[in-house]
């Protein structure tokens, strides 16, 4: 049986409260899930029916986030790029998180497998 998951990558080089961080992770997860639902319904349904596995890992910069997003896009994976609205803690349009998947783990792991857990 194929394992499905979603990976959320968050920046650690900017100051976010725990609440802000949680919201940014949630935004990335929901947006990427909708991308999967629109583009690859089978991946979404497999992930949905097996517990919606999510992994949160960290990156050290906006450039690193964008690099992972581009690699994932080139590999045909659902991707979300989250930029904060700037209403509370961060300047407007601050890049905070990237969501990849849901997709087969075998397609996500070669891209994000080397990142450390948050």
Angle made by CA atoms 69, 32, 48, in degrees to the nearest 5:
135
Distance CA 99, CA 78 (A): 8
Q: By the 8 A CB rule, do 80 and 98 touch?
A: yes
Q: Which domains does the chain have, with CATH numbers?
A: 4-112 (3.40.1490.10)
Report pLDDT for 12.
95
pLDDT digits (tens, 9 = 90+) for 19-70: 999 999 999 999 999 999 999 999 999 999 999 999 999 999 999 999 999 9
Instruction: Round to whole Å and give the CA distance between 115 and 118.
Output: 9
C-alpha 9/C-alpha 25 separation (Å) is: 8
Q: What is the structure's pLDDT at 2?
A: 86
């Amino acid at each position: 049986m194929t394992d499905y998951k979603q990976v959320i990558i968050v920046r650690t080089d900017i100051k976010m409260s725990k609440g802000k961080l949680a919201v940014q992770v949630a935004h990335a997860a929901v947006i990427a899930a909708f991308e999967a639902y629109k583009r690859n319904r089978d991946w979404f349904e497999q992930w949905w029916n097996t517990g919606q596995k999510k992994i949160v890992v960290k990156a050290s910069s906006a450039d690193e986030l964008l690099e992972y997003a581009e690699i994932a896009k080139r590999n045909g994976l659902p991707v979300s790029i989250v930029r904060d609205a700037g209403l509370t803690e961060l300047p407007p349009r601050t890049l905070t998180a990237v969501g990849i998947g849901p997709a087969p783990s075998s397609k996500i792991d070669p891209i994000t497998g080397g990142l450390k857990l948050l």
